Amino acid sequence: MTATDPKAAVDTVTLTIDGKEVTVPKGTLIIRAAEQIGIDIPRFCDHPALEPAGACRQCLVDVAAPDREGNVRPFPKPQASCTMTVMDGMVVNTQHTSEEADRAQKGVMELLLINHPLDCPVCDKGGECPLQNQAMNMGRPESRFVDVKRVFEKPLALSSEILLDRERCVLCQRCTRFSKQIAGDAFIDLQNRGAMQQIGTFDENVLDFDGYSPAGPAAEDESGRAFSSYYSGNTVQICPVGALTSSAYRFRSRPFDLVSSPGISEHDSSGSAIRTDHRRGKILRRMAHKDPVVNEDWITDKDRFAFSWQNQADRLTRPLVRKDGELVEVSWPEAIAAAAAGLKAARDGKGVGVLPGGRLTLEDAYAYAKLARLALGTNDIDARARAASAEEQAFLGSTVAGAGLGVTFADLEKAPAVLMVGFEPEDEGGVVFLRMRKSLGKQQVFTAAPFLSRGAEKLAATLLPVAPGREAGLLDGLVGDAFEALEADGAVIIVGERLAATPGALTAALKLSQKTGARLVWIPRRAGERGAVEAGALPGLLPGGRAASVAAARKAVAAAWGVESVPSAAGRDVDAIVAAASSGDLEALLVGGVSPSDVTGLTDAIDKAGFVVSLEVRRSAVAEAADVVLPVAPPSEKAGTFVNWEGRLRSFATAIATDALSDHRVLDLLARELGVELGTGSIGAVNAEIAALGAAADSHRPKAPTAKAGRAPKKGDVVLASWHQLIDEGALQDGEPYLAGTGRATVARLSPATADRLGFAEGALTVTGEGGEGVTVPAVVTDMVDDVVWLPTKSPGSWVAQELRTVPGNVVTVKVGA
């Protein structure tokens, strides 16, 4: 065999299933080999992403295999095809060709049903239930079980979102195996035994301790509630019966009434494939769509359950224009004309700032970028509704934009070592965490953070303790195990968007990447962040990573756009736009999907700006001060492309056709009114243009950043650490109380030494920043870096940008008590 022979790489075996020969890689399970030739063996516990259990026994088949002398001998009993691996010369007969296998499977089916309530008519799973389907195929028309069924109280709430109906459960252990093997959150497990065996959370009553105390604490969060996993919704999806249901979907619909549309989740930068199930224009639920290269079989609970935000009562359907101080519904032409008039006046005056927000598709972001340059004549555009810096922009322009597919999910899984800086795998990564966890035990993980978060702990990560703001020093001085591990082939450094708040950190990360040879990847939080970078929706970046400050780059873009020139004046970034709008240096703001509470000072800026145009799905806080509000479509009602953190284009089609317009179409209309043909009226037109532009030539890119580390805080100062928890009060999670109930409790964290110094024992802490009200939340003493206080960025009672008006890494005031 030659090296190019694809078969040379894999040892294969050839066997016969139902008389058909099949050749599969060694180690393949019989059930998988059968799938390859279209032979379906019924199963419940088997799931390709989980380790075999062999628990349900539904997949029994007859097997004969060669003995040492090569004589093919039948096994005396039917074998579970989900646990037995193939052998050369094996002869398998499934229920299609073996009476014994058929009888065995029918027997198991009968037993599975004796205690099952057979309540299909009222069960959420009815119509898409493997148990129902297989029972219809091979079950008895009438039950022979005339005795007493086992009954349980139902449903049992495993969390506010996940409900368990133990009567329907066939104890296949898919959910418990998912929780242990994939998510690492053993929040449920088997309890009791025999016919009384059941799934449950840690519960003394179920376990019947009979006066004995449970051994060891149950997994719970700081509030003492049973712990909830960020990935628990996947258990509902893989449950082969109707035992696990979600509060949000329970009793809402029948699967055969739903229309399913494939899509891409708008909740994070991973671009997970989802399936949106809707009925008469209303989304009923969302499921994970299998995508082997991105999210595999799984999505986060946010991806799954957070969709009702777009159909709240404040959903905008008609344009609004402020007349006599009140927003009134007007026609599109009137609204566009009003918006254009206001923007034109501001453009011709001191200028317009554009804040598209980080949740847009590539096409929408491109339209904003082009509109700002051509119709508003400015580089004052920044999609980063978060801490941002010039250093970050230089980093994004030099390293990320136009780089195409860089480090991928698969690369991350295969990486021998991963260093995470300013990045929390569970809270900010979602399915990134799941992919890394697949390599648990095979991958060395290091996390530069103030403490070892639960997610990092589940990755068996080594903590490189660092206070926020000091990451640059840590990276510059990195030696020892972590440095050596990063020198291995395929090692990866992940930097999160939070590093923008730390001077010198991205510079240091680039340097470390060069020194070690480790690949560097930027994983932002929001779905539109990478697309905005690619589209040039940043002040210093034009599409494709072209620097707005480089004349040749501007010329190239101007040529592509068919204009003389694009603006050359340096643009303001998000903070500068907010400041300028507040001080009157900018006369108008064009705001996309931005929550003012995410950007310090934005609420004031919107209030003070002379003229504000808001493009929003819902009547948001921006709208309340806006002069013109233009309704735009939520992701489920439009087509577009999210560019995920890998640089992969994640295109999706319209799931629910409505007359809502995408931002790029609205901006196209607006530009026309401003006298500019933007050419962004359709997805096709935008994409053709982006493709024609291509990536920047190296000489057209910004230079890599060379920022210096910031100064250390004074002794005794307490520095703020903060990140968004996955389930929090983000605007896209509105209207989903069941999901909110699974979020982590809001707590502040501080080290034992800092607690001592501040005289904190237990209770609450009040943290104040550079303005705002400050926050008072319960605090927990945590093993962490001294002189740091950690707060969740936007959890209930802890809205850092709004109430502290500061960013992580800055000094805050901490007071014990309220």
Residue 230 contacts by C-beta under 8 Å, 6 or more apart in sequence?
A: 183, 185, 300, 301, 302, 426, 430, 726, 727, 742
Helix or strand or coil: residue 422? coil
- DSSP H helical ranges for 567-720: 574-583, 602-608, 621-625, 663-673, 683-693
Integer angstrom CA distances of residue 626 from 378, 614, 777: 21, 6, 33
Nearer to other proteins, 60 or 375 (CB): 60
CA distance 86 to 559: 61
Residues in the chain: 818
* Of residues 190 and 440, the one with the C-beta less far from other proteins: 190
Which residue, chain included where needed, has tokens 């709004």? 802
Nearer to other proteins, 208 or 487 (CB): 208
Number of residues this chain uses to bind other proteins (CB under 8 A): 39
Least Cα distance to 646 among 363, 431, 332 occurs for 431
Tell me which residues in 113-142 interact with other proteins (CB under 8 A). Answer: 114-115
Using CB under 8 A, which of the segments 7-15, 104-112, 375-383, 498-506 binds other proteins? 104-112
In the bound state with other proteins, the residue whose beta carbon lies nearer, of 217 and 480, is 217
Binding other proteins (rule: CB under 8 A), the pick from 41, 86, 91, 108 is 108
Question: 3-class SS at 357?
Answer: coil
Tell me if 207 contacts other proteins by CB under 8 A.
no
CA quadruple 709, 515, 706, 644: dihedral, nearest 10: -100
> Closer to other proteins at the Cβ: 148 or 691?
148
Measured between alpha carbons, how far is 746 from 796 in angstroms, rounded to an integer?
6
Query: Min. distance of Cβ 553 from other proteins in angstroms?
Result: 58
- Residue 171 interacting with other proteins (CB under 8 A): yes
Kindly state whether residue 76 participates in binding other proteins, applying the rule CB under 8 A: yes
CA quadruple 419, 424, 426, 430: dihedral sign = negative
- Cβ proximity of 338 and 627 under 8 Å: yes
User: Measured from the CB of residue 112, what is the shortest distance to other proteins in angstroms?
Assistant: 6
Single residue of 16, 25, 49, 110 touching other proteins by CB under 8 A:
110
How would DSSP label each residue in 193-258? -GGG-EEESS-HHHHT-TTPPPSSPPPB-TTSPBP--TTTHHHHHH-SSSSEEETTTTTT--GGG-
Q: How far is the CB of 452 from other proteins (least distance, A)?
A: 24
Whichever of 47 and 286 has its CB closer to other proteins, that residue is: 47
Is the CB of 212 or the CB of 251 nearer to other proteins? 212
Residues β-bridged to residue 790? 721, 749
Name the residue among 7, 661, 805 with its Cα closest to residue 332.
661
User: Do residues 768 and 802 make contact, with C-beta atoms less than 8 angstroms apart?
Assistant: no
Binding other proteins (rule: CB under 8 A), the pick from 149, 282, 323, 703 is 149
Does 143 bind other proteins (CB under 8 A)? Our answer is no
Nearer to other proteins among residue 69 and residue 147 (C-beta): 147
Shorter beta-carbon distance to other proteins: residue 208 or 762: 208
Q: Does 104 interact with other proteins (rule: CB under 8 A)? A: yes
189 binds other proteins (CB under 8 A): yes
Query: What's the half-sphere exposure (Cβ side, CA atoms, 13 Å) at 563?
Result: 17
Residue 57: CB minimum distance to other proteins, A: 5
* Contact stretch for other proteins (CB under 8 A) within 50-58, 288-296, 545-553, 771-779: 50-58
Q: Which of 392, 384, 313 is nearest to 355 (CA)?
A: 384
Listed in sequence order, the residues at least 6 apart from 294 whose beta carbon sits closer than 8 Å to its beta carbon are 270, 271, 272, 273, 409, 431, 644, 646, 648, 650
- Dig out the tokens for 484 from the structure: 């050596």
Show contacts with other proteins in window 80-99 (CB under 8 A).
80, 83
Q: Decide: is 193 part of the binding site for other proteins (CB under 8 A).
A: yes
* Nearest-angstrom CA–CA distance, 719 and 735: 33
Contacting residue, 37, 72, 151, 460, with other proteins by CB under 8 A: 151
Query: CA 434 to CA 125: how far, in whole Å?
Result: 26
Residues 61 and 91 sit within 8 Å (Cβ to Cβ) = no
Residue 58 carries which DSSP code?
Answer: T
C-alpha 528/C-alpha 554 separation (Å) is 24
Binder among 22, 34, 55, 661 for other proteins (CB under 8 A): 55
Nearer to other proteins, 155 or 635 (CB): 155
Three-state DSSP at 516 gives helix
188 binds other proteins (CB under 8 A): no
User: How far apart are CB 101 and other proteins at their closest, in Å?
Assistant: 11
DSSP assignment, residue 287? Answer: E
What secondary structure letter does DSSP report for 400? I
Which of 22, 86, 92, 112 forms a contact with other proteins (CB under 8 A)?
112
Q: Which of 33, 39, 52, 718 binds other proteins (CB under 8 A)?
A: 52
Task: Find the shortest distance in angstroms from Cβ 432 to other proteins.
Answer: 29
Question: Applying CB under 8 A, does 196 fall inside the site for other proteins?
Answer: yes
488 is a contact residue toward other proteins (CB under 8 A): no
Furthest C-alpha separation in the chain: 95
111 binding other proteins? (CB under 8 A): yes
78 in contact with other proteins (CB under 8 A): yes
The residue within the footprint of other proteins, chosen from 24, 34, 56, 550 (CB under 8 A), is 56
Question: Judged by CB under 8 A, does residue 200 bind other proteins?
Answer: no
Task: Kindly indicate which of the ranges 49-57, 264-272, 431-439, 536-544 contains the residues binding other proteins, using the contact rule CB under 8 A.
Answer: 49-57
Q: Which residues bind other proteins (CB under 8 A)?
A: 52-58, 60, 76-78, 80, 83, 103-104, 107-108, 110-112, 114-115, 144-145, 147-151, 170-171, 189-190, 192-197
